[in-house]
């Protein structure tokens, strides 16, 4: 009922606006249900690695440098492979949940465990032979020896990645990942407590710092397994099944394409840090660049949470057969992440000159970081868009396409531009940073174009074909729709 002539004339438009607000509100709630625990989990999990580095710094400078090299090169290498391969599970579980093929999610989880456990085992020799590898690339003998000692302690962490990544993706696909947020937060507190006890009080050195990391991370995995095996996922987990060994090859192919996609992205920054090491005054260059990367690494945990949200929402709606809902989820997610990105960009522009003192007491390094504050702010803005688009790609199952996009944008465009600007144009670290941004900007534009031009109805059909091809009828006593 309209009270005025104006209300009467504008009534349909007002109803449309109210309807849009309602849809945005409903979609935002669905988004934050997935994204909030994902953000908490990523912040605390990354925090465990960073705080361990801090405790290593109190053991000794060589230990700190050795740990930093392992984290930047070897752990990033392993993390990229395993997290990328695990993202195949995001596609499968998200679409299966949307299609109400609930019992298949447990089977997909077990198949992913098999593939990732095999991959992790293949990676173990890299951590066993870390010292010879570092000597081969010209690192100092003392640093290589200490790094080899530390890297052995990382082997249990590699297997932690297998279960942590897959369990997170399995639970968030069914919107039950709040438990992971709680467990991750608890493990972070446990890690801080144990690190303080082992390193400061008991003076256990490297075994104390790394032992604290192993205990805290695996306590989280044990909690997740208890949650799943204990009956809190009755629709999606009905026990171990021999069906997990069937149709492994398609899962391997999707996992490999997912791994390549994410590896090319995660290794990009590592390559740029290595390039900075060949500059004049390399110590200052690497310190300033690594501080900026640490700042962006902390902030990007928020967009990576939205990556999870985008993946789950797109996969759920495609599995449910609703193309319009999938498109709307992409729009809401992008707008939300961009708003937060703009906010953080402004903050870093305003406080860029003081941020570095949280990481260093050197005024020379602080000035170098301050000179990069504008580029840092622009990077943060780009990082608010790009992960969401990657999440959309994972949710829709475009991993192989994005792998080619990443290869072209990062390694054919971004790194060469960075090298030219740094060494030919003499822009030093700023040149490398600009090259990095050019690669990310181009990748963002390409993914935006792909997302914009996508026929979402055909994506629904492809999701349906994938799910039907791998579908197995539920066993007796297990109704997939209960």
pLDDT of 202 > 50? The answer is yes
Give the pLDDT confidence score for residue 114 in this predicted structure: 92
Average pLDDT value for the chain: 82
Give the pLDDT confidence score for residue 267 in this predicted structure: 67
pLDDT category of residue 2 using cuts at 50, 70 and 90: very low
Kindly report, residue by residue over 381-395, the tens digit of the pLDDT. Answer: 888 888 889 889 888
pLDDT category of residue 42 using cuts at 50, 70 and 90: confident
pLDDT category of residue 149 using cuts at 50, 70 and 90: very high
pLDDT of 482 > 50? The answer is no
Share of the chain above pLDDT 70, in %: 84
Bigger pLDDT: 114 vs 19: 114
282-299 vs 373-383: helix crossing angle, rounded to 10: 30
Bigger pLDDT: 219 vs 300: 219
Kindly report, residue by residue over 371-384, the tens digit of the pLDDT. Answer: 777 877 888 888 88
For the ranges 278-282, 288-292, 352-356, which has the lowest average pLDDT? Answer: 278-282
Give the pLDDT confidence score for residue 353 in this predicted structure: 65
Kindly report, residue by residue over 399-417, the tens digit of the pLDDT. Answer: 788 888 888 888 889 888 9
Bigger pLDDT: 179 vs 430: 179
pLDDT of 132 > 50? The answer is yes
Nearest to 216 by CA among 159, 157, 150: 157
> Token pair for residue 100?
């109400």
For the ranges 1-15, 89-103, 269-283, 292-306, which has the lowest average pLDDT? Answer: 1-15
pLDDT category of residue 226 using cuts at 50, 70 and 90: very high
d(CA 2, CA 13): 13
d(CA 10, CA 14): 6
Give the pLDDT confidence score for residue 445 in this predicted structure: 93
Task: List C-alpha distances in Å: 181 to 29, 280, 324, 461.
Answer: 17, 43, 30, 34
d(CA 294, CA 5): 58
Bigger pLDDT: 221 vs 142: 221
Q: Residue 409 carries which DSSP code?
A: I
d(CA 17, CA 14): 5
> Token pair for residue 371?
């000179």
pLDDT category of residue 442 using cuts at 50, 70 and 90: very high
Average pLDDT value for residue range 94-106:
87
142 class by beta-carbon count within 10 Å (0-12 exposed, 13-18 middle, 19+ buried): exposed
Model pTM? 0.80
pLDDT category of residue 432 using cuts at 50, 70 and 90: confident
pLDDT of 117 > 90? The answer is yes
pLDDT category of residue 77 using cuts at 50, 70 and 90: confident
pLDDT of 198 > 90? The answer is yes
Average pLDDT value for residue range 348-360:
69
Give the pLDDT confidence score for residue 220 in this predicted structure: 94
Average pLDDT value for residue range 316-323:
88
Sole residue written with tokens 């890690």:
191
Give the pLDDT confidence score for residue 225 in this predicted structure: 94
Bigger pLDDT: 248 vs 470: 248
Q: Provide the greatest CA pair distance for the chain.
A: 84
DSSP line for 294-361: HHHHHHTHHHHHHHHHHHHHHHHHHHHT-HHHHHHHHHHHHHHHHHHHHHHHHHHHHHHHHHGGGT--
pLDDT of 210 > 50? The answer is yes
pLDDT of 359 > 90? The answer is no
């Amino acid at each position: 009922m309209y009270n005025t002539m104006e209300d009467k004339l504008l009534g349909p438009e007002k109803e449309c606006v109210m309807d849009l607000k309602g849809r945005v509100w409903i979609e935002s709630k669905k988004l934050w249900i997935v994204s909030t625990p994902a953000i908490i989990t990523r912040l605390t999990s990354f925090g465990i690695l960073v705080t361990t580095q801090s405790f290593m710094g109190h053991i000794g400078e060589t230990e700190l440098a050795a740990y930093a090299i392992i984290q930047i090169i070897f752990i990033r290498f392993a993390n990229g492979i395993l997290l990328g391969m695990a993202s195949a599970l995001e596609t499968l579980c998200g679409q299966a949940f949307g299609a109400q093929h609930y019992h298949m999610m447990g089977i997909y989880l077990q198949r992913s465990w098999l593939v990732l456990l095999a991959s992790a085992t293949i990676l173990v020799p890299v951590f066993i032979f870390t010292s010879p590898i570092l000597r081969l690339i010209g690192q100092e003998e003392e640093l290589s020896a200490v790094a080899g000692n530390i890297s052995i302690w990382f082997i249990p962490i590699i297997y932690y990645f297998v279960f942590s990544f897959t369990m997170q993706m399995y639970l968030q696909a069914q919107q039950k990942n709040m438990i992971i947020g709680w467990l991750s937060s608890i493990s972070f507190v446990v890690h801080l407590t144990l690190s303080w006890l082992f390193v400061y009080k008991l003076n256990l050195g490297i075994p104390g710092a790394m032992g604290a990391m192993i205990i805290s991370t695996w306590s989280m995995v044990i909690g997740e397994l208890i949650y799943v095996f204990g009956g809190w996922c009755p629709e999606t987990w009905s026990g171990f099944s021999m069906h997990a060994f069937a149709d492994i090859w398609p899962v391997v192919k999707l996992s490999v394409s997912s791994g390549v996609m994410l590896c090319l992205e995660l290794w990009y920054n590592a390559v740029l840090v290595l390039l900075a090491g060949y500059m004049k005054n390399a110590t200052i260059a690497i310190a300033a660049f690594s501080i900026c990367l640490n700042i962006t690494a902390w902030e990007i945990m928020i967009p990576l949470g939205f990556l999870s949200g985008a993946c789950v929402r797109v996969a759920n709606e495609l599995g449910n057969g609703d193309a319009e809902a999938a498109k709307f989820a992409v729009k809401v997610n992008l707008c939300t992440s961009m708003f937060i990105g703009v906010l953080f960009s402004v903050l870093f522009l305003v406080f860029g000159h003081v941020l570095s003192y949280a990481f260093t007491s050197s005024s020379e390094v602080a000035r170098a970081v301050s000179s990069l504050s504008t580029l840092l702010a622009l990077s943060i803005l780009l990082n608010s868009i790009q992960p969401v688009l990657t999440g959309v790609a994972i949710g829709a199952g475009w991993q192989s396409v994005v792998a080619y996009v990443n290869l072209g944008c990062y390694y054919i465009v971004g790194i060469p531009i960075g090298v030219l600007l740094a060494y030919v144009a003499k822009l030093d670290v700023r040149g490398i940073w600009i090259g990095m941004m050019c690669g990310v900007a181009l990748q963002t534009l390409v993914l935006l174009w792909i997302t914009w031009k996508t026929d979402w109805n055909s994506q629904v059909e492809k999701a349906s074909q994938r799910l039907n091809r791998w579908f197995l009828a539920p066993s007796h006593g297990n109704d997939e729709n209960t």
